[in-house]
Every structure is written in C-alpha cells, then in structure tokens.
C-alpha cells in the first residue's frame, strides 16, 4: 500500500466516549512521494555517518553512556519529569530529596535501555521484550501501581481531566493483544520490502496509538526506535536518540501523531520523523568530533603531571561517564585514599579540567564542564 493511501482507523463509540481503533499495519508499504524519498536518502546517509563513529572511536561505550543519560533525561522530561542532565549524572545522595522521584525515573530509563540492548542478543523485538523493559521503567516510581510489565486491562486516555474530555482515547483494552501482535509481526516481517526508517516511523506511530500500557508508553515507544535500529544493524551501537529533537519540537511531535490519526496523514508524520533522524544523527556526529578534539586536548594536559599521569587517566575515563563528581566518588570508584583524591582533583582544577560548583568548603561538587556542555547544547 502507498503511504498516501493510508487509513488510520475509526473512532468507535463506547459508553460516554469514543475510542480509536487503528487499522493493522503489517503490510508492504510503498513510498511514491519524491519528497519523502529525498528525506529518506538524507536520513540514511547521516545515520550511516553516525554509525561510523561508533566503529572508529576508541572506547566508544564510555561516551555512549552520556548519550543514554541525555536520552533518558529528555524522554522523561517529555512526560513531565523535571530532572536536568546535571542532576541525572549525579548519585542519589547529591540529589535534593524533593527531586529524587524524578531522578529515579531517569535512572530507570537508563537501566531499561541497557537491559533491552542486552536482551536483543537473545530475543527479537517482541511483546515479551517490551513488557520486560516496561517493568524496569516503572519500577518504584510513579506508575508502579499501573501493571508494570503487563498490557493494560482497562481503558486509558491522553490529555484532559477525564476520559470525557480527553484529547485522544486509544483502542479498548480487548484489542491490545491483537494490535500488538500485528505490530510485532510488522517489525519482524522479512517477507515485505519496507525501508527500515519508514518501517520504524510507522511502528513508533502505531505503538503510541495503541498505547498498550497504562503508563510509560511514551518512554518505551521512543526507546523502541533505538532498539529497532540496533536490532536491524543500522547501528552497531545505540548512538541515535530522538527524544531531544522531540522535546524541542514537542507540539509538532504530538500534532503530527494526532494528524495521522485524524487526517490519515501518514506522509507528514514520516517526513517529520525522517528530519528528526537526519538532524539528530548530524548533531551526534558533531558531538563525537568535539569529544575527540576535547579528549586529545585534555590528555595533552594531564601528560604534564608526570608520575600522576596514570591515575589522572583513570579519573578522566571516570569523568567521561560521570562528569559531575565529589571527592567521595573518586575515593570509591578509583580506590584511592582521601588525600590522593583531593590531590588529583586539585591538579584537575589547576588545569581547568574540573570546576567546583558549590562554593562550599565541605561536600564539594566538581564539574567536567567542557565535556558536559557537549551534551547540553
């Protein structure tokens, strides 16, 4: 079927509201619109360039961890959490007690991502994987009472104070298993020829439309994008995350999803998605270039520390994963004494690698600001 002929589904009358029943998507989709094909080509080229960095950058997993932190922060912020990147990279003890629930949601997302990527080695993208990952997302946070790891058994809705004035009401729960089965078949169907980025754009739309869980659908639906790209070898490592783009264009993100349902305008959603991939991949490439430049500069600085160079390199590698630290963090993670930890931090301050941000004499926090800023722009 040509995407221009897409029929999203029908609104079905229920008691005091109308739910939306989407059409199945496990079909061979065709793109005849030249403008979509141009965007698809651009997105594929930039995605390939980003993937190249994951192959050529030494110890790339260290840097990918910060990409995951950023994705977790942005995806959670779309859902209303208030945690910032600077807070997400710190340990619980350093977080304001009033912000710890939001902080935990971000940590859960990171754990879910790591878990799901590992599980792809033995499981396909499937309802089983979705449910197991969903359980981690809602572990001990808001929504923990809403059937973590299970498809919903009651009606949910999006927006509005109640179902009667909701912006959108997904399909009734009796349809969820059937629709998720169709989605799973579409994602893994090797007998149809659908370009990967078109397929995952449609799959993400369908997942958000089904809204199969009572909570956490947005986070898992965005996580699905990266999982699909990795599972189909478009990415060797999980380096592309679209939540930053979606948060910056939040109204367009929701408008294009809703426009697909109401106007059958799948083409516009796919265009938006492809632009998101291209721009995010391009930004990711630039971030990797800047990381390599910064690393070369910093390593040059610490070579001046003589006998302390080896320990300084250990601290630097730790900072790439946790760019905001305390003296106790250095003691715990590098296994050094307090005097040694203080001494190495002072050296990094003198070299303008670390900056103390609290102004306190005790319980001080130090920031690898140049590196952190690469992920904040």
The CATH number of the domain holding residue 238 is: 1.10.3290.10
Q: Which of 240, 264, 286 is the last residue of a domain?
A: 286
Task: Give 145's DSSP letter.
Answer: T
**Calpha distance 34→36 (Å, rounded):** 5
My answer on whether 189 and 74 are in the same domain is yes
Cα maximum dimension of the chain: 76
Rounded Cα distance, 326 and 87, in Å: 13
Q: Which two tokens stand for residue 310?
A: 């080896």
In-domain check, residue 43: yes
Residue 1 lies in a domain: no
Same domain, 39 and 100: yes
Question: What is the crossing angle of helices 369-376 and 60-78, to 10°?
Answer: 50
Which residues span the domain enclosing 323?
292-376
Say how far residue 74 (Cα) sits from the centre of its chain: 7
Last residue of a domain, one of 258, 286, 314: 286
| Whether residues 345 and 280 fall in one domain | no
Report the distance separating Cα 134 and Cα 145, nearest Å: 13
Q: Check whether residue 61 and residue 157 sit in a common domain.
A: yes
In this structure, the answer to whether residues 129 and 72 fall within a common structural domain is yes
Query: Quick one: pLDDT at residue 176?
Result: 98
80 and 193 share one domain = yes
Instruction: For residues 282 and 328, state if they share a domain.
Output: no
- Mark whether 274 and 227 lie in a shared domain: yes
Predicted TM-score of the model (pTM): 0.93
Tally of structural domains, the chain:
2
- Asked whether residue 7 is assigned to any structural domain, the reply reads no
Residue of 196, 172, 180 lying closest to 20 (CA atoms) = 172
Establish if 4 belongs to a structural domain.
Answer: no
CATH of residue 327's domain is 1.10.10.10
Same domain, 279 and 321: no
Q: Is residue 44 part of a domain?
A: yes
Rounded CA-CA distance 241/225 in Å is 8
Structure tokens of 48?
Answer: 């390939």
Which of 286, 304, 331 marks a domain boundary? 286
In which order are the strands placed within the sheet that holds 324-325? 324-325, 366-367, 355-356
Q: Domain check: are 183 and 330 in the same one?
A: no
In the three-class reduction of DSSP (H, G, I as helix; E, B as strand; rest coil), residue 360 is classed as coil
Do 281 and 133 lie in one domain? The reply is yes
Residues 236, 356 within the same domain? no
From first to last of its 377 residues, the chain has per-residue pLDDT tens of: 999 999 999 999 998 899 999 999 999 999 999 999 999 999 999 999 999 998 888 888 888 889 899 999 999 889 888 888 999 998 888 888 888 999 999 999 999 999 999 999 999 999 999 999 999 999 988 777 889 999 999 999 998 888 989 999 999 999 999 999 999 999 999 999 999 999 999 999 999 999 999 999 999 999 999 999 999 999 999 999 999 999 999 999 999 999 999 999 999 999 999 999 999 999 999 999 999 999 999 999 998 888 778 899 999 999 999 999 999 999 998 999 999 999 999 999 999 999 998 877 778 899 999 999 999 87
Instruction: State the virtual CA torsion across 218, 55, 84, 329 in degrees, nearest 10.
Output: 130
- Token digits for 38? 């141009």
């Amino acid at each position: 079927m040509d995407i221009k002929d897409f029929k999203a589904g029908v609104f079905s009358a229920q008691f005091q509201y109308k739910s939306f029943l989407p059409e199945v998507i496990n079909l061979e989709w065709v793109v005849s619109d030249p403008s979509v094909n141009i965007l698809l080509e651009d997105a594929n080229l930039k995605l390939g360039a980003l993937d190249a960095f994951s192959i050529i950058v030494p110890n790339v997993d260290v840097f990918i961890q910060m990409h995951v932190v950023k994705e977790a922060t942005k995806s959670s912020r779309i859902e209303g959490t208030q945690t910032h990147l600077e807070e997400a990279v710190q340990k619980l003890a350093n977080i304001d007690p009033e912000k710890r629930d939001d902080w935990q949601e971000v940590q859960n997302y990171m754990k879910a991502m790591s878990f799901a990527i590992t599980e792809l080695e033995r499981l396909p993208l499937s309802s089983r994987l979705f449910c197991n990952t969903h359980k981690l997302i809602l572990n001990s946070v808001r929504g923990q009472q809403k059937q973590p790891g299970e498809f919903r058994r009651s009606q949910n809705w999006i927006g509005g104070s109640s179902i009667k004035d909701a912006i959108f009401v997904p399909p009734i729960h009796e349809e969820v298993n059937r629709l998720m089965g169709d989605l799973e078949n579409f994602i893994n169907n090797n007998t149809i020829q659908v370009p990967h980025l078109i397929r995952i754009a449609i799959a993400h739309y369908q997942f958000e439309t089904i809204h199969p869980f009572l909570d956490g659908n947005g986070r898992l639906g965005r996580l699905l994008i990266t999982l699909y790209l990795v599972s189909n070898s478009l990415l060797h490592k999980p380096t592309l995350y679209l939540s930053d783009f979606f948060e910056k264009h939040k109204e367009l993100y929701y408008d294009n999803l809703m426009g697909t349902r109401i106007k059958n305008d799948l083409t516009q959603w796919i265009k938006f998605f492809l632009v998101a991939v291209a721009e995010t991949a391009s930004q990711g490439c630039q971030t990797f270039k800047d990381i390599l430049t910064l690393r070369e500069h910093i390593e040059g600085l610490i070579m001046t520390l003589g006998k302390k160079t080896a320990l300084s390199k250990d601290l630097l590698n730790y900072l790439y994963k946790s760019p905001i630290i305390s003296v106790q963090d250095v003691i715990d993670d590098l296994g050094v004494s307090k005097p040694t930890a203080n001494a190495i931090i002072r050296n990094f301050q003198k070299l303008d690698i670390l900056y103390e941000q609290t102004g306190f004499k005790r319980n001080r926090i130090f920031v690898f600001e140049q590196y952190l800023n690469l992920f904040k722009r």
